[in-house]
A and B are shown apart, each in its own frame.
Chain A
Amino acid sequence: MRDVAIIGASTTQFGRAQWSLLKLMAEAAHGAITNADLGGRKIDAVYVANMGSARNNRQAGIASALVDRMNLYPAAADTVENGPASGASAVKNGFLAVASGMCDLVLVAGGERMREVNNIEATEFVSFLSHRYAEYIYGITLPALAGMFARLWMNKYGVTSEHLAMVAIKNHSNAMLNPNAHIKMPITMEGILHSPDAEMNNPYIAEPLRFFDCCPVSDGAAAVLLAPAEMAGEFTKKPVIISGFGQATDTQAVHERPDPTVLTAVQIAARKAFDMAGLKPRDISLAELHDAFTILEIAQSEQVGFFPEGTGHIALEKGETQIAGKLPINTSGGLKAKGHPVGATGVSQIVELVFQLRGEAGKRQVKNPKHGFALNFGGFGNNVVATILTKGA
């Protein structure tokens, strides 16, 4: 296997687009391609991450459509649909294509245009990933699953609504420093939890999760360009190495897990990624975790091994996960505030790590990062991809 480098990275602004999904993805792809100096070299393959274009945007075969839009013929093209983990899955497939020697230059783009449909339809389309007969037909949605998970986690570890709000406040604050974030609005503990007006400002969505505990519904796209590490110097002065990947699955229906608070797929995916990279959680300089709901950032920060069991909220309280903390988490604003265009999310997490490892993250730059970790959480933890990136020499 060859080592693989990221030689180009780009993202669109997340939020609400008035243009097509294809145009969004083309913008991100163009950004990633022009971010590297390809000198006329052709792209061998394109992997596209997307979950709902056929349903929401009346566009199937999105990878072929992107190749056509970008004039990338005769590049091989595949669409990767793996729920909310589609993005990191697509990067993994691109990585394998380069690592195996089958391809040299591979473009990976992820995108979703969710706001073409109303928010009831958007919530329903995401809920299609739940178990059809054990969950979906009973009306389960992702916020509902997250609400039940949060209740269990809070009872088990003493996490409070204030801790959940701290995640939201931190990630909104980080998103204020990210020009591509969807929600660039600060929030305060008093305004969302403690004042007499907070009940109306921040109503329950799925108790104990409130409005500001949930990610927005976003449009957006992100892309990376991959090349063999040995050739990366030809295309960029700042290659970033993909040093670890790990992926694991778990039961589709959450209630079939012996203990629903144990995210086995998260633990296994992270362990595999650390083993492949030859690193430990303590070696990581920053992480992008899948905070579709605030509780998930706390839970994942423990289950990937950054903090001992039951102490993620304590680290949060101490400010360890802030940009200037010991282990900055979700410097981009996370799914919570940067936004969560489902197919784009996993790629976008990796793009943020690339920006940080290259020292190009602007006002949210972490000091001298060496290794970045991303966790893309599919289903409700039934298909998880962990990625570790390392700053190139």
Chain B
Amino acid sequence: MLDQLEAALRPPKLEMAPYPAKHILLANGETLVVRPASMDEADVLLEIIDPLKTLDRDFYDIVSARLYAELLGWKRHRVRNEYCLVGVINGELAGIVNGRMFDEHHGISYHTLALKRGLRIGAHLFASKMEHHIEYLGQDEVWIVAESPIGHRRWMIEYPLQQKFSIQHELGGAPSWVLTRETYFKARPRLVTGTRPVPEELLACSHPIRKPDLRTMLVQIGDTLEAKL
């Protein structure tokens, strides 16, 4: 039973349709399961993200620090209508994306974090996030900003997104870009992949989330043996 003060601090919620899990065959032959994360998985996600907050390679520090705060806000019920999707390979976390519904018609993309690089996991997860907003949450558009040049190339240029500088994205910084339903369905054949349903055995393998080895993850993200350890 929530006390009155806590209840007052929690934002009201919109109904959110669930994201149906899918699986994607990666270039190296491994299978990525993309599925929604449950709130009881927040702790393990936070634990995995934590050491990346000081890794300045390709803006991993700012993306990780902000994602950490957003997931903490999700866990503590301080962000309205937030969701989190995870990419899992053989039970091991390979990437995270999150966002939220601003209202019934508009979505806000928060962050995309790939923990295993070189396999386009970030691109697959971002595409899944857009799929969630447009196809399952049924929204008209998603507001997006990028913090890294990689993000800018992947989202703004590759889709391509439209400028909507009249809107200030709540992450601050650069003005918003927007993915509309029209843009999404044009890009869908090129950029949104995956097969449903996920075979039960494969889906079961994605629970519980296993932490990647820290050294392997840092070296892989840093793309160098000189990554901070």
Residue positions of A touching B, CB distance < 8 A: 13, 15-19, 118, 183, 185-188, 190-192, 195-203, 212
Is the Cβ of A201 less than 8 Å from the Cβ of B223? no
Which residues of chain B come closer than 8 Å to A13, judged between CB atoms?
225
A-B contact pairs, 23 of them (CB 8 A): A15-B224, A16-B223, A18-B224, A118-B149, A183-B118, A185-B28, A185-B118, A185-B119, A187-B28, A191-B25, A191-B26, A191-B27, A191-B28, A197-B24, A197-B194, A198-B27, A199-B190, A200-B127, A200-B191, A200-B192, A201-B120, A202-B27, A203-B190
Q: A199-B193, A200-B193, A201-B26 are in contact. Are A17 and B224 (CB under 8 A)?
A: yes
Interface SS of chain B: loop
Which residues of chain B come closer than 8 Å to A212, judged between CB atoms?
27
Which residues of chain B come closer than 8 Å to A192, judged between CB atoms?
27
Interface residues on B, range: 20 to 34
Which residues of chain B come closer than 8 Å to A118, judged between CB atoms?
149
Contact with A along B1-43 (1 / 0, CB 8 A): 0000000000000000000000011111100000000000000
Q: Does B195 contact A (CB under 8 A)?
A: yes
Interchain nearest-CB distance for B89 vs A (Å)? 12
Is the Cβ of A188 less than 8 Å from the Cβ of B27? yes
Is the Cβ of A188 less than 8 Å from the Cβ of B149? no
Interface SS of chain A: loop
Central interface residue in A13, A19, A183, A201, by most chain B CB within 10 Å? A201
Q: Does B123 contact A (CB under 8 A)?
A: yes
CB neighbors of A among B178-229 (8 A):
190-195, 222-226
Q: A16-B223, A18-B224 are in contact. Are A195 and B127 (CB under 8 A)?
A: no
Is the Cβ of B149 less than 8 Å from the Cβ of A197? no
Q: Does B129 contact A (CB under 8 A)?
A: no
Q: Does B124 contact A (CB under 8 A)?
A: yes
Looking at the complex, which one of A16, A19, A187 makes contact with B27 (CB distance below 8 Å)? A187
Is the Cβ of A197 less than 8 Å from the Cβ of B118? no
Which residues of chain A come closer than 8 Å to B124, judged between CB atoms?
197, 200
Q: A118-B149, A190-B29 are in contact. Are A196 and B224 (CB under 8 A)?
A: no
Which residues of chain B come closer than 8 Å to A19, judged between CB atoms?
226
